[in-house]
């Protein structure tokens, strides 16, 4: 199934520049099989070359857009989503001034006409963050429908972390990343960043839409990387532009659909991890796709086993009823934990039942994606999928084999995506484990591991 979240940031010069190149928009290939869902041109007017093939999101870009012809277009058209102010902190617009316009002009569009509103989109520097924090504090009862964000850097993991943390600041309002790009000057690095971030955003449920900067014939400024251009001087899409419009998941250097990582913060500051390896990894002759996850609030399930006597008691109780495959998977976890002087995990029947139920969901969908955090409060989640005889034991072995890539880093330092599954398995405060599996019609077996309490807390080590 195609995930339709991508915006085409279509520079106004493509429509009315010298010369205009409106026909070049046809390269997007709109339709049911396209990941593209909307077009933005930082203006109120619709590019005529769009021809209704995707949604158009007009923007009240600056103060001049709040009156005259631009405002008339906003008021008199049936736009579903309206974006508000582009990096206002860099254009002399104070949070107070923005609040006044928001309450007097934008909110009536929502109340009277049913429009959805995007917040001002600020830069990700200190000034931008302080600006949006102040603005949001001034509209406590009239929050936007979407939190709009910009992000430019060379580090995909930092991009993911920033977007996630911003999402969690304000009651988890859905996010539109209305500008994002890698500013590295090396194309392979740009491709790696772009594939990793786009794949993560496609798979992250609270990302509503996102726009890769941008489709125009010239580099916007010295800050933007020429290696990240989506369009060449003649208006033809670059390799990166074509990938963005047509490829899902996006493939990075070497043709691999790169892992996307999430560092997400819950309401109390605990942070977990989600990772998606769309390219897979070889293990025991099978193609395996491991994932691990994330956040929650309250622990659930049966009481955990403690050291020594409690572990024995669990063996005679809940653990006695589990399958041989489950017992082997649990033993793998506990043998590895014993080597680090960690408490053994107890098998939890409720966690196992929930894991099995979600494995069946994945098998029916025929694809890998994490369950929503609110469906598993307080629980971490590891996922695996593979052909052949993938089972609970081999999945646990795959996750635990990441020990070789973990060198004592504080979460999420270093190459977190290469060891996050292992650290969840080994998290010192995790006490319970449940696993389940299901086979899909595509021949793939899907394995789910649930851990309680969750691990991978940012700023801590597993043991």
Distance (Å, rounded) from C-alpha 3 to C-alpha 205? 10
Residue 284: count other Cβ atoms within 10 Å of its Cβ.
12
Global pTM reads 0.60
pLDDT at 302: 26
Q: Mean pLDDT across the chain, nearest whole number? A: 85
Give the mean pLDDT of 143-170: 94
> Is residue 230 reached through a cis peptide bond, with omega within 30 degrees of 0 on the bond before it?
no
Rg from Cα positions in the chain:
24
Distance (Å, rounded) from C-alpha 225 to C-alpha 223? 6
Distance (Å, rounded) from C-alpha 337 to C-alpha 331? 10
Distance (Å, rounded) from C-alpha 47 to C-alpha 25? 10
> Is residue 175 reached through a cis peptide bond, with omega within 30 degrees of 0 on the bond before it?
no
SS3 80: coil
- Is the pLDDT higher at 203 or at 255? 203
Nearest by Cα to 154 from 89, 204, 242, 227: 227
Beta carbons of 278 and 289 less than 8 angstroms apart:
yes
Give the mean pLDDT of 184-203: 94
User: In this structure, which long-range contacts are made by residues 233-236, counting pairs with CB atoms below 8 Å and at least 24 apart in sequence?
Assistant: 235/14, 235/21, 235/24, 236/24, 236/27
Read off φ and ψ for residue 206, nearest 5 degrees: -90, 0
Strand partners, 293: 381
Residue range 32-64, pLDDT digits in tens? 899 999 999 999 999 999 999 999 999 999 999
pLDDT at 254: 82
pLDDT band at 383 (very low <50, low <70, confident <90, very high): confident
């Amino acid at each position: 199934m195609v995930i339709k979240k991508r915006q085409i940031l279509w520079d106004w010069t493509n429509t009315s520049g010298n010369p205009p190149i409106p026909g070049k928009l046809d390269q997007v290939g709109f339709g049911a099989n396209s990941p593209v869902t909307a077009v933005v041109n930082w203006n109120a007017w619709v590019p005529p070359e769009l021809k209704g093939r995707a949604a158009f999101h007009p923007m009240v870009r600056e103060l001049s857009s709040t009156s005259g012809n631009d405002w008339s277009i906003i008021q008199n058209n049936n736009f579903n989503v309206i974006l508000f102010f582009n990096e206002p902190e860099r254009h002399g617009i104070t949070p107070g001034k923005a609040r006044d316009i928001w309450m007097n002009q934008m909110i009536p569009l929502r109340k009277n006409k049913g429009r959805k509103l995007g917040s001002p989109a600020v830069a990700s520097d200190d000034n931008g963050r302080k600006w949006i924090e102040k603005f949001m504090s001034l509209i406590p009862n009239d929050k936007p429908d979407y939190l709009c964000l910009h992000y430019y850097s060379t580090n995909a993991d930092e991009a993911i972390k920033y977007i996630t943390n911003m999402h969690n600041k304000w009651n988890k309002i859905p996010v539109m990343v209305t500008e994002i790009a890698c500013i590295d000057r090396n194309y392979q690095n740009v491709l790696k960043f772009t594939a990793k971030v786009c794949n993560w955003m496609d798979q992250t449920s609270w990302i509503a839409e996102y726009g890769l900067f941008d489709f125009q014939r010239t580099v916007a400024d010295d800050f933007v990387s020429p290696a990240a251009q989506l369009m060449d001087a003649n208006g033809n899409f670059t390799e990166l532009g074509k990938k963005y419009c047509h490829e899902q998941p996006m493939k990075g250097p070497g043709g691999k659909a790169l892992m996307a990582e999430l560092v997400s913060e819950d309401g109390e500051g605990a942070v977990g991890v989600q990772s998606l390896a769309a390219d897979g990894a070889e293990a025991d002759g099978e193609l395996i796709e491991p994932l691990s996850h994330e956040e929650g609030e309250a622990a659930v399930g049966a009481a955990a086993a403690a050291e020594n006597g409690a572990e024995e008691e669990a063996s005679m109780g809940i653990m006695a009823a589990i399958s041989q495959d489950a017992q082997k998977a649990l033993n793998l976890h506990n043998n590895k934990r014993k080597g680090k002087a960690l408490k053994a995990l107890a098998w939890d029947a409720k966690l196992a039942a929930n894991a099995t139920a979600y494995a069946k969901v994945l098998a029916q969908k025929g694809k890998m994606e994490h369950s929503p955090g609110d469906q598993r409060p307080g629980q971490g989640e590891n996922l695996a999928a593979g052909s052949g005889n993938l089972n609970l034991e081999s999945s646990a072995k795959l996750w635990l084999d990441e020990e070789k890539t973990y060198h004592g880093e504080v979460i999420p330092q270093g190459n977190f995506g290469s060891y996050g599954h292992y650290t969840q398995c080994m998290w010192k405060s995790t006490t319970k484990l449940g696993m389940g599996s299901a086979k899909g019609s595509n021949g793939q077996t899907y394995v789910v591991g649930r851990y309680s309490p969750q691990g991978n807390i940012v700023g801590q080590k597993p043991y």
